[in-house]
Structure 1
Amino acid sequence: MKNILSLFAALACVISSALALNPSRDYEMTPKDVDLAFEEVTIPTEDGANLHGWYFPAVSKKASYNIVIISDDGDGNMADQIEMASKFLTLGFHVLCYDYRGYGKSSDFDVKKKFFIHTQFEKDLQGALKFVRTAYSKIAKISFYGQGIGAGLSICVGANDLKIRYIIADSPYTYFDDMSKSLSAAGEDIMFPMAYDKIKMEPKYNLESETDLDKLNAKLLYIVGGKDPVYNTKMIKAMHKLRPARSTVYVVKNATKSNTFSSDKEAYYNQIKTFLE
């Protein structure tokens, strides 16, 4: 019985850490600590917030016209994405990391730690996209990479912009209602937005809309942990079936959302490299 209780406690811990917003204002490291060339930037949003970002110039010998915007999962801040940024630099990309409002050095915002996501975060990604197009206009080939809520937002914004080339979505959500029901069944009390634009906030709605099938121009790579109790393979494969010609699924065996990358970094990197070729 003790082992069974431990199993349920561990599962609850996995679910909570996978979904609850957990902002951090402090950076455990910066690009300077690992000797990466970068520029600190300020990204304005349409509603007046100012986001803190790090721009990493491509390190390739040839001129690069590719840039990837990295969106975090809402747990920590953009410092958690430094290693991932270095992988894209190796692939010849410029990289922009940014913090949502309420995170890192971005504008103050009351992040609710029981919330799954704030609708304002969609404005943050839109702000990052507009910033790239304005500040780095010569870097015309823009792609998205996101984890968790960042993956879902990347799909939503990318599905409504014909100029986005690639979307790499590691453990994206689908519908708020579906996620809420599955979490309630698991005994989790996570709050979801009640008033929102489905086009801006729900990835699956964008992918299954029969009236806007021409919206998604980007190629889409789904990454999912084979053992994740929330962002499960069934859910991701169902989204893949909506646009099979434009999407690919990479299942990381024996992994959950928290370690899809760290469980086998070389395999993860090679999947992204192959997808982008």
Structure 2
Amino acid sequence: MAGRKVKQAATRLLVVLGLLLGGSHAAWALKPDRVYRYTPDSLGLAYTARLLKTPDGASLNTWTYVPDAQANKHVTIVLAYQDAGNMSNFLYHAKALSAAGYQVVTFDYRGFGHSSDFALNPSQLYYAEFAEDLRTVLKAARQQFPTHRLGVLSLSMGTIIASMVATDQKLDFLIGEGFVTSPAQFVARVKQAKGKDIVLPAQAGQYPALLPKVKCPLLVLVGSQDAFTTLADSRQLVQQGRHRELVEFAGSHLGGFPTLTSKPEDFTTFGDLYVARISAFLTKEGVLKS
């Protein structure tokens, strides 16, 4: 019996590592994955799958994780991930948030996962159409859960998309890790470190001017050794507006969830300190009741 439990624990740990390696690190331009390596039911998570249509006709696949009724905070968090993988790489992120009482909605951008086909240049950092995808998911969440507070957890490239949307949509909060404050600067740093040329969409030069216009409460998480979206960038971003807070962790780009874990050797605690920082911020900002 003990041997079986050890084997099960080891298998689950391999699943966690596979998910993290598959989607939790930046690809330094678009690297979508069309295959779901795992689905929420493989972790015993309750969820509903739903297809959404964007105004321009794209089809988006979404998964909604509903927390236990007694723990339900009546807050919905939409995950806008980075430039690689698909939403199946974030099962443990969703599990940690759902266990804390948050309703979580994950989705795939067009061209990713099981969403619509979309012609992607693998050397491009992002497309403006991804913002339309996020707007569509947020609109559906508002309609389906009108009494919930609604916000976005964004990662790396996803912070660009979420910031674009936050300036023209009402959000109750925005959380960003590996926050891109200047796409051009990000591209230059990747070129210097990785020798890779990344293409930006035409409107990318207008993006930095949007950031001071984000008026909802903003929580920024950054690794102290992040060479691409640096601590200095995040500090400057937080200083641009009110109701902004910075969380620094000892790590590199997008290392927040595995680093902010109380017992790294225990996959069941994955991201618990990360989620606690989110809850503390949302409580301080009045999104959650204390």
TM-score under structure 1 length normalisation: 0.82
Are the aligned partners of 2:226 and 2:253 in contact in 1 as well (CA < 8 Å)? yes
Q: Which moved more, 1:188-197 or 1:78-87?
A: 188-197
Alpha-carbon distance, 1:94 to partner: 1.4
25-34 or 184-193: which moved more? 184-193
- 1:263 counterpart residue number: 259
Three-state SS of the structure 1 residue aligned to 2:237 is: helix
- Counterpart amino acid of residue 165 in structure 2: V
Residue 23 of structure 1 deviates from its aligned partner by 0.4
- 1:197 deviates by 8.7
Give yes or no for contact 2:35–2:113 (8 Å, CA) kept in 1: yes
Q: Point out where structure 2 has 5 or more consecutive residues left out of the alignment.
A: 1-24, 263-272, 284-290
CA RMSD of superposed structures (Å):
2.1
**Which amino acid in 2 is paired with 1:78?**
M
Give the residue type in structure 1 aligned to 2:274: Y
Once residues 108 and 228 of structure 2 are traced to their aligned partners in structure 1, the CA distance between those partners, rounded to angstroms, is 24
Flag the 1:99–1:139 CA change in 2: closer, same or farther, 3 A.
farther
| Residue aligning to 2:10 | none
The question of 1:76 aligning with 2:74 is answered no
> Higher mean Cα deviation, 180-189 or 223-232?
180-189
| Paired residues for 1:55-70 under 5 Å | 55-61=64-70, 64-70=73-79
> For residue 12 of structure 1, what is the aligned residue in structure 2?
none
Q: How many residues align?
A: 248
How far apart are the structure 1 equivalents of 2:31 and 2:99?
Answer: 29
Q: In the alignment, what sits opposite 2:129?
A: 120
* 1:197–1:182 CA distance, 2 compared to 1 (3 A): closer
Distance change (3 Å), C-alpha of 1:264 and 1:62: closer
Matching residue of 2:54: 45
- The AA in structure 1 aligned to 2:211 is L
Asked if 1 retains the 8 angstrom alpha-carbon contact of 2:227 and 2:253, the reply is no
Quote the residue 1:276 is aligned against.
Answer: 282
Matches within 5 A, 1:14-53: 17-53=26-62
What do residues 54-80 of structure 1 show as CA deviations (whole Å, max 9, x unaligned)? 011231316653111111112100011
SS in 1 for 2:152: strand
Q: Distance in 2 between matches of 1:96 and 1:139?
A: 16
- Name the CA distance, whole Å, in 2 between partners of 1:141 and 1:197: 32
Q: Secondary structure at the match of 2:49?
A: strand
% identical equivalent positions: 23
Distance of 1:27 and 1:273 partners within structure 2: 29
Looking at structure 2, the residues matched to 146 and 229 of structure 1 have their Cα atoms a distance apart, in angstroms, of 18
Segments of 4+ in structure 1 off by > 6 A?
Answer: none
Deviation for aligned residue 1:193: 0.7
> Which position in structure 2 is the counterpart of 1:207?
211
- Counterpart of 1:23 in structure 2: which amino acid? P
* 1:115-137 CA distance string (max 9 Å, x none): 11111111110111111123x14
1:235 aligned to 2:233?
Answer: yes
Distance 2:69 2:100 in 1: 8
Q: Check conservation: 2:223, 2:248, Cα contact below 8 A.
A: yes
Counterpart secondary structure, 1:164: coil
Q: Decide whether the 8 Å contact of 2:177 with 2:254 is kept in 1.
A: no
Displacement of 1:228: 1.3
Which residue in the other structure is 1:169 paired with? Answer: 176
Q: Does the 8 Å contact 1:18/1:257 carry over to 2? A: no
